[in-house]
Structure 1
Amino acid sequence: MPTIKDVAKHANVSVATVSRVLSNTGSVTEKNKQIVLKAVKELNYKPNALGRYLRTAHTNTILVVVPDLANPFFSNILKGIQTLANEKDYEVLIMDAEQTNFDNVKCFNMLQQKQVDGLIMLTSRVDRDVLLDMCENHNIVLACEYFEDATIPTVSIDNISAARKITEHLIHLNYKNVAHITGPMNTVLGIDRLRGFKQALQSNSLPIKTSYIQEGDFNIESGYNIMYKLLSMEARPDAVFAANDEMAMGAIKAAETLRVKVPEDVAVVGFDDIKMASMFTPQLTTISQPAFKIGQKSMSLLLDLLNKEPLTQFQYVLEDTLVVRESCGHYLSKRQQTT
């Protein structure tokens, strides 16, 4: 296994020069930098991570806490994080908050014990005060979710506006009895998407029926069970907005079980635009989140914190897109007629 001395000899430079190039510190001419990098590649030299940590007190490793690794929405966020992390020579560890043995104190301890350099939280389901206290002395970014009035770097979309947009799309197609399968009401996503749903009904002078608002938990089973309940009502809804795509897919499966056609008998829309949304039958109308960009921006903000760069702003709100497909019944002329 080649050593740093072998690299120096191969490049015909000093060990100190190789060290400065690899640690990106000190002054090295561009010519020598390229010579060293070429030698590293030719020798397939791998810097010793423990030695680097002992010299710099940095692990070049970050931790990402995901609320549910089984949820396909997070895969593109992780790709965005991983892509930029790889470019900057950082390793990424992933912790699944859905696991029964998950302890959010553990991830904070990893920061305090310097086992990782920084933390990206894709969930706000932790103690707010503890998280904000940790942010005072450690490098933490929150993505997808947020805390009100908190000075923690955050990347997300406007979930209220997006939920209002997709609900209004149903209303403009002349659906009058719109139900909502919410996310968990102990999460900001569940609360915000319900808020947007209600705003759309109110602004269009439609009643908010409490029986049409049922709490799910973002998985396909809850979408199935709640849709079965909604379609079993005497006065069933003619459209359903599920707070994520998995629940929307579960809702469509429940409709199939009850021999209710989507979208001819009931329209169904989702949220997130996971990969399966365009391949499902019927193809799912949904809100597309820029998941890769969310991950990339989160990692970029964390790198700024790690490099002690001043942040120009703390909250970044990225653009979402309404993606219209078959499941909303936009092609059904009878729904587009004013009644």
Structure 2
Amino acid sequence: MATLKDVARLACVDVSTVSRALNNTSYVHPDTKARIFAAVKELSYQPNVLAQGLRQGKRHTIGVVVPRLHLTLFADITQSIESESRKLGYATLICHTEDDPVIEKECLNRLRNGFVDGIIIAGTGRNGHLLRDIHAGGIAVTQIVRKQEGTISSVIADYDACGYDTVRYLYSRGCREIGLINGTTSLAPYRERYNGYHRAMEELGLTETCATSPMPGNNFEYGYQCTEDLLNQNPDLDAIMAAVDIQGMAAIRALKDRKIRVPEQIRLVSLTGHSIGGLLETTMTSLEIPAHEMGEKATHMVIDEIEAPSDNKPSVQHLVFSASLVERESS
């Protein structure tokens, strides 16, 4: 990563001159300024406005980057982060990316340039280099829900156990044809849920039925189409595991449209439940992720890193929370 000294060396000027030119704080000859900006462009130098702000005092603001808020676990987590941050004297800036790496990159660059002291992110995994660069530049970072970067602290749930334990639970209820609606395995939680599902199905000698839908995105339409796919693959299906609540809600609708009764004919479990599951017409059994506790812990971790001396930053931590099975009508 290029530094102010690198720019000064390439432009053949003092560091102070580069600083004055970039901050426009005093006169710099136009020819000299042109050389400086040419060096900035050649080196892809990114001025760390946040570092400048820190020298004047912390901004006491945390950026929160999540895929979406509507009807998701992330809404509960974000609320927890915002509430805990306020208690600790910090404000929050919320960015939602719809899991678009281009939008995520734009959000991260905006946040790094002077708005925040730290970032809590549920990332796409497609901007790892940028995230590591931001962290190396002195901005505190904690990953939430998704552990994509091993060198950056994280707070996640045991998704492998969610997949494994749910198969075992459904098996104990008499199910033998268990289907899985999942998301892209490029994201760690979906990959780990499948790993748990696969291991349990193999141990029990059961045949896997996994949804395959070309429809992009983790939304109601995606869950509906995946349910149709599962039923077309295996007409004898007697249970469906949905990776997240919105998929489970869509599955209930798809089953109802086919006049398949839940749970009499097909049992249904969400692997990542939050409060919405208990409000449905057919309440949904789910593995409840401790969203508020995870949000609080991530907040403390990022603030501890912000407030630690630069020569004594906390070690990288990877915390894993367990989910709890909440039985409702759908199983």
Equivalent residues of 2:142, 2:298 under 8 A apart = yes
Q: Which residue of 2 aligns with 1:36?
A: none
Is residue 320 of structure 1 aligned with residue 319 of structure 2?
no
Q: String of CA shifts for 1:83-119, please: whole Å, max 9, x gaps.
A: 1211122111111111879533333323442221111
Counterpart residue type for residue 287 of structure 1: L
CA distance in 1: counterparts of 2:242 and 2:157, whole angstroms? 17
CA distance in 1: counterparts of 2:234 and 2:95, whole angstroms? 44
Q: Which residue of 2 aligns with 1:106?
A: 106
Equivalent residues of 1:64, 1:120 under 8 A apart = yes
Equivalent residues of 1:230, 1:236 under 8 A apart = no
Matches within 5 A, 1:179-218: 179-209=179-209, 212-214=210-212, 217-218=217-218
Specify whether residues 135 and 99 from structure 1 end up closer, same or farther in structure 2 by C-alpha distance, changes over 3 A only: closer
Q: String of CA shifts for 1:46-69, please: whole Å, max 9, x gaps.
A: xxxxxxx69734221111011112
1:326 is paired with a residue whose SS is coil
Q: Which residue of 2 aligns with 1:90?
A: 90
2:272 is paired with a residue whose SS is coil
Q: Which residue of 1 aligns with 2:23?
A: none
CA distance in 2: counterparts of 1:234 and 1:159, whole angstroms? 25
CA distance in 2: counterparts of 1:76 and 1:90, whole angstroms? 18
Matches within 5 A, 1:55-134: 56-98=56-98, 103-134=103-134
Q: String of CA shifts for 1:9-35, please: whole Å, max 9, x gaps.
A: xxxxxxxxxxxxxxxxxxxxxxxxxxx
Counterpart residue type for residue 324 of structure 2: T
Is residue 135 of structure 1 aligned with residue 138 of structure 2?
no
Counterpart residue type for residue 296 of structure 1: E
State the identity %. Answer: 25
Specify whether residues 188 and 55 from structure 1 end up closer, same or farther in structure 2 by C-alpha distance, changes over 3 A only: closer
Equivalent residues of 2:66, 2:121 under 8 A apart = yes
Specify whether residues 244 and 299 from structure 1 end up closer, same or farther in structure 2 by C-alpha distance, changes over 3 A only: same
Structure 2 portions without partners, runs of 5+: 1-52
1:327 is paired with a residue whose SS is coil
Q: CA deviation at 1:139?
A: 0.9
Is residue 264 of structure 1 aligned with residue 267 of structure 2?
no
2:271 is paired with a residue whose SS is coil
Equivalent residues of 1:69, 1:98 under 8 A apart = no
Specify whether residues 281 and 190 from structure 1 end up closer, same or farther in structure 2 by C-alpha distance, changes over 3 A only: same
Is residue 297 of structure 1 aligned with residue 297 of structure 2?
yes
Specify whether residues 169 and 59 from structure 1 end up closer, same or farther in structure 2 by C-alpha distance, changes over 3 A only: same
Structure 1 portions without partners, runs of 5+: 1-52, 329-339
CA distance in 2: counterparts of 1:83 and 1:191, whole angstroms? 31
Q: Which residue of 2 aligns with 1:221?
A: 221
- Which deviates more, 152-161 or 185-194? 185-194
Q: String of CA shifts for 1:178-204, please: whole Å, max 9, x gaps.
A: 110111233112211111111110121
Equivalent residues of 2:123, 2:148 under 8 A apart = no
TM-score (ref. length: structure 2): 0.76
Q: CA deviation at 1:313?
A: 5.0
Equivalent residues of 2:71, 2:276 under 8 A apart = no
